[in-house]
Structure formats: structure tokens, C-alpha cells
Structure 1
């Protein structure tokens, strides 16, 4: 109901700015001053930040109308400081930077503060880092003006690279002076990013909780979810789990499930088994599915159990998954997880027997079976030296005929000797 009402108000505002009466009466309206049009733009942008995506088209419409109005304004229009502020806020709210250049070039009476316009023109031209000190000096001067929250946001953007702590102060100033607006949305999101990068986990969780409560349906909320998932996974074990669940608890079930699944995926790939299992279980609880009901939760939970003793059940669960049940990006993960699990549970095979086959020794012949020549040859053989059997080369131990390992060693020695001769140039050519 809230969104339908805001969409109705947005439609009426569009009609008014277009010069048509909501009741269709053809009355010529006075031209709106720039500061009133700027208020309309701020209103529409705040609706967008709070989740009324139907206002996005209206935002583009108001920006174009305000740009036209500023360019057509005469010099007396900017005698009103509110219109000067409107032109500056327009430039800091996604307006055409060339319009600010156009207005400054025509400002012969000095209605625009050159210090502010110089900072903004360099910032919009990608050279804002050069004006870090100047914009910090301007903030106290304009702290009670309409442009103060926008200047603070710009100051944080140009300071973040050199001094993140100072940038956090500027962002705090911006969000505290413009609560509930698109300025606060941007300041909170960027503050969370700085706190995460600098390892300040407690402030990061505070920023995350405030963002989830106020701007969960912003068009930029996907960036917040990325940062929140990174915060939970990278700092698992140091974060207050109650604070994590509290932040997730303010989300609607669909967003909760998405967040828990993304935490489970990142944790599973990162080897954080317990976190992946818990997140997968929470995703199933939010979905109302028993056990491992969600295909994605089933996959992430299975990946998490691969290094544990529960790998067989993980493989069984993943074997029932079909690739078409998963997003395209998760299908390679399923294939890899199945392959790893299969290798883990595969039984090792026995090594092949490398020993050479040995023929059984011949049966010993009796004296009656021996031929006279065989007996005579045996009698004519010279006696073996003391301690060495007959027929065995010197320097080698006797190998039993029924010892296959001994035969293998003897054969190996002979091959090594032949190789040595080849290396020494003594082999047969």
C-alpha cells in the first residue's frame, strides 16, 4: 500500500511539472522557480532510495526539466540564494555537469561562491582529490545550509583514498544532517565499505544494521548485500552472531534466503565448513523447506561436508541434484564437488606385482636317471674355492632356486652392471 500511494503522488507530481492539472483543466501555470523543482527532485530521489522503483523514470524526467529551467533562467532568478543552492545540489545529484559550467560562466554578479563551484567542477571532472583540503575548509562555513549534506558526501568521496577515517567523519556528517534521504543511503553504504576494508568489524555491523532497516529496497541494495556477505564470511568467529542474525532478521524472507545462500556459498568455497552448514540450514528454515530442501543449500552444504567424515552422505545428496535446478554459475561448482567427493570415497587399488615370474625348479634326478656324460662332466669340474658354492660367480651370494625375490635382485644387478659398462664405454657396439 505504501508503494502504491507514493507511486500515485509521483504521478501527480509528473503531471504538475509537465504543465497539466491533475483534474485535466487546461490552465497555464506559472513557471516554477528552480528551488521548488529541486525539492521535487529530492522527493523523488528519496522515494527511489526507499524502494519505490517506479519513481526512477520520474527522476530522469525531473532532472531534464530542471536542467532546462536552469539554463533558461535569467540573472535575476539567482538573486534568490535558494535558486543558487538548487543549481549546486542539482550538480551534485546526478545533473549535467555542463550546466554548472554554463551558469558559472554567465555569473557576472558573483552570485555563486567560486570556492564551491571550483571544488564541484573539479570533482565532477574527476579531479576532486586535488580539492580535499579546500572542501574540508568549506564544510564549517556551509554547515547550516541546504548544500551541507551534499558537500559532506562529496568530501567523503574525495577523501576516502587518502584518509578513510576522515572520510567516515564526513559520511557521518552527511547522513546525520539528511536522515532518510538518498544522501544518507549513499553515506551508509560507503561507510560500511570503509569499515570493512579497514577491519573495523563492530562499526561495520552497526552500519549494516542501519542500512538494512532503512534502505533494503534501494536500487543500490545489491552492493550492500555483497558487503554484508563479505563481512560475515571474512570475519567469522570475531563477529557477534546475535548482531548478524538481528540484521538478517529485519529483511523479508526472500532477501534473508538470498543472503544466507550467498553466505553458505562463499563459506563453502572458502573452506569454512561450520559457517557454510549453518547458513545453508538457515536458508532452508527461511524457505520453509525441511532439511536440505533447497537445491542451492544442498549443494553448498555438500561442499562444506567434503573435508569431513560425512563425505559419503554429501556425495549421495549431491548425486540427486540436477544441473538445471541450479543457477548457471553454480553448475561448475556441482561438477567439481562431485568429482572431489568421488575421489575421496574411492577405494585404493592394490599395487601390481612387479616381481618376474620364476619357473619352478626341475625335479632332482636320481643316479639311475643321470646320463654317463652328465656324471663324467660333474666329476671333471674343478672344485669350488673354500666358502663358495660351485658354479657361483665370485663376490655374489648364493641365491636359492626357489627364492623369486633373490632371482629378481640377481637379475637387477646384472642389468645394472651392463648399464655401467655402457656408460664407461665398455659395452658391445
Structure 2
């Protein structure tokens, strides 16, 4: 793929002096093609191209703003405008450029649909683009249209959306479009309850795009799917896919899986993931991760070993945990202490159980956590947020985010305590009634 990077660099070097001289000699489609090459390189792990992408976005925006009607008589420039729009281009620039044109036929339909999509009018965009067949398009817009349509209807119509994602992958193999389509297919097969297809898509993504700056979003969907398909996916199948990752990525995946499994009360899966994480740390000569200690201790709780588990929980240093995991630790200690408390006694809250944790303490990052958020203007294709409303003062936004985080923490702590109590109750019933054959 080096030739593609060299081509992008050559095009960029040609664009820079022209931009400085305010000249418009480079055709818009050449600039968009250069941008696509850079974005595909980024999808394949070339994060050093991110600054180049940003510069190309700026140049391309300026070029489309200055483009006249005559230039769009070349169909390649019109296709480039639509592709750029669906790749995260500037909505205002796209609207200005389209207003100068008198589009006809399906191009006019696609133009209206893309504008509605960029404005955040998703139902309207879906209705306009409904009759457009991406596979029948004779230019680069087909793959992007498939991706956009699939992204819009995924929540209500997962099966048709998944077909559109397959079309996007078929039309643009090895590109950022394929990366985004693969990643967005995971929630769809999760909704459709297709564990086998979930595993195939996960393995394809892991083999091809794990170095993408958006791989952390894949990691979220992957772990969520493993929890949702708990009864359908065994540990060997998990290990097969995770073994394709680097040791730090494996550790992050297993720790996240251990945490989610713990919250969901999937004790055996939590123990498996915690042990795998610990094993990876030992192989890489790292010290014991307090998160693995926490999840493994919670997963092993029974009414017979509660004192031992409480002792292990007391050995976990809360200062080395994120605020969310610290709350889980406090909840686990509280439930263990409650079980051991004499009947009728009131246990005081565990030490450190107040709300004054250091908010600067953060969990270890997931794979590729340094990647930019995909909702920026330079994001993966069709990953645009709806146009922003009135600006919210920074302080209020931070307070709202913190309050949402507190609510999520409390919900997870409650879920953990409920799952542990349920498990202990079941063990006690077995002990009192005799084990069933």
C-alpha cells in the first residue's frame, strides 16, 4: 500500500502551493481522491496520516466553495462532491455547491437525500434514498450510499441494513467504507441474534482493521456481543479471535469482558476472562492488575468462601482503580460484609464509600484508545452527528456528563449487588435443600 501513501503525498504537495496562491487549477475529484487514499491508509493503521487528512479536508472544502457550475459538468466532480459530503464534509459548503447546480434524475434524488442526512433529518433522508440502488450506481457514490442508508435504518430494520452494509463492503473493499461497514454490522447481527455471523464479522475486523483509529468502537461492540451471546459462544471461540490481537489489546478485551460479565452475573465467563487477563500480564512480566483481582474475587464469591473473598477484596487498592471500578469494589465489599454481619446488626458503610473519589483516576485505555472520536468532521464515512443546536456552557456540559456518569456507576453497582445476592441465595438454597442430581 506504500504507492497509495506516496500518491496521496504527491497530490497534497501539489495542492499546498495552489492553496497558497488561491488558484483553482486542481479538479475537485482529484482532491477527493487524494483524501480517500489518506483515509484508507488511516483505516489500515497509518495514524501518522491524520494531520494530512485534516489538511486535505480544509483544502477540499475551500475548493468546493470556489467551484463553479461549469466544473460540475464533469460527472467526476459531482460524484466527488457527493462522496465528500458522505465522508464528513462541511454541510454548509455542500449546500452552497448543490444550490448552484440543476441536477436531474437520480443525481437530484441523491443530492436531496445527502443534504437531509447532513442536516440530521434522518427519516427524511431514508425516505428520499429508499429507491436508490447502491449496486446500480456507476461511480464511487454507491458504497457511500449503501453505508449511509444502512446506518440510518439499522435501528428499525436490521436485516435490510445488514444487506446494505454487505453491499458497501463489496463495493469498497479495503477502504474506510469497508471498515465502517464491518464495525456497524456487529450491533445489527446482535439485534438479529446471529452469534455465528457475529463471530465471522468480528474475526474479519480483527484480521483486517484492528489498527484502525476507530477500533475501540469495535472493541465495545465485540465485548457487548460476547456478553449478549453468553450461551451461544464458548470460551474457545473467544480465545480464537482474541489471540489475533496484540498482548495489550488482549488484556484490554479480557478485562472489559470480565467487568461486563461480572455486572451481568455471568460468573464463569467473568472468571475465565479475569484469568486470561492475569495470564497475559504474567507473560508480559507486568504486575497484577487490580481490576483482574477485583473481577476474579467477585466471580468467585459463594456463601462458603465469603471471608476469604472479603480478605482478597480488602487487598485491592482502590487508588489504582477508575472511579467506576472503585464503586464496584465498594459495592462488593459492602455485600460481603453484609453476609458476614451478625443477624440484626447494622453494618457501617465500607471505608472510602463516600462520593469523593479522584475524578482524574482513569481506567486503562481500550485498544487504540488514543484514536480520535469518529463523530468529528474528519471522521469515517457517514459518521456525522446531527447539526448542533445552541452552544451549552462548558461548565454545564461537564456537570451533565458527570451526573450521567454517576447514574451509570450507581446502576452498575446496584446490578452487581443484585447479581451477587442472587448467587448467594441460590447457593444457600442448594446447601439447605441438598444438591440436585
Q: Residue 366 of structure 1 corresponds to which residue in structure 2?
A: none
Q: Residue 293 of structure 1 corresponds to which residue in structure 2?
A: 288
More deviation in 137-146 or 286-295? 286-295
CA apart distance, 1:279:
0.6
SS where residue 19 of structure 1 aligns?
A: helix
Cα pair 1:149 1:175 within 8 Å, conserved: yes
Q: Residue 418 of structure 1 corresponds to which residue in structure 2?
A: none
Cα pair 1:284 1:292 within 8 Å, conserved: no
Distance 1:122 1:227 in 2: 28
Q: TM-score, length-normalised on structure 2?
A: 0.71
Aligned with 1:306 (options 301, 307, 310): 301
Q: Residue 202 of structure 1 corresponds to which residue in structure 2?
A: 196
SS where residue 137 of structure 1 aligns?
A: coil
Q: Residue 39 of structure 1 corresponds to which residue in structure 2?
A: 33
Matched, 1:233 2:231: no
Distance 2:269 2:290 in 1: 18
CA apart distance, 1:313:
2.7
Distance 1:109 1:227 in 2: 40
Q: Which has the higher contact order (CA 8 A, sep 6+)?
A: 2
Aligned with 1:70 (options 49, 64, 68): 64
Q: Residue 331 of structure 1 corresponds to which residue in structure 2?
A: 326
User: Aligned residues, how many?
Assistant: 343
Distance 2:134 2:240 in 1: 37
Distance 1:121 1:156 in 2: 17
Distance 1:205 1:224 in 2: 13
Deviations, residues 271-317 of structure 1 (Å, cap 9, x unaligned): 22111111100001111269993221111001111235333332222
SS where residue 340 of structure 1 aligns?
A: helix
Q: Residue 255 of structure 1 corresponds to which residue in structure 2?
A: 249
CA apart distance, 1:109:
7.5
CA apart distance, 1:82:
0.9
Map 1:50-199 to 2 at 5 A. Answer: 50-108=44-102, 113-139=107-133, 142-199=136-193
CA apart distance, 1:264:
0.8
CA apart distance, 1:129:
1.9
Distance 1:8 1:140 in 2: 30
Q: Cα 1:235–1:28, aligned 2, differ >3 Å: closer, same or farther?
A: closer
Distance 1:8 1:129 in 2: 41
Distance 2:188 2:47 in 1: 27
Distance 1:67 1:285 in 2: 50
RMSD: 3.1
Cα pair 2:40 2:176 within 8 Å, conserved: yes
Question: Which structure has the greater CA radius of gyration?
Answer: 1
Distance 2:112 2:103 in 1: 16
CA apart distance, 1:44:
1.3
Matched, 1:321 2:316: yes
Distance 1:295 1:343 in 2: 23
In structure 1, list runs of 5 or more residues that go unmatched. 21-25, 351-429
Distance 2:160 2:43 in 1: 25
Distance 2:170 2:179 in 1: 11
Distance 1:242 1:75 in 2: 59
SS where residue 26 of structure 2 aligns?
A: coil
CA apart distance, 1:224:
1.3
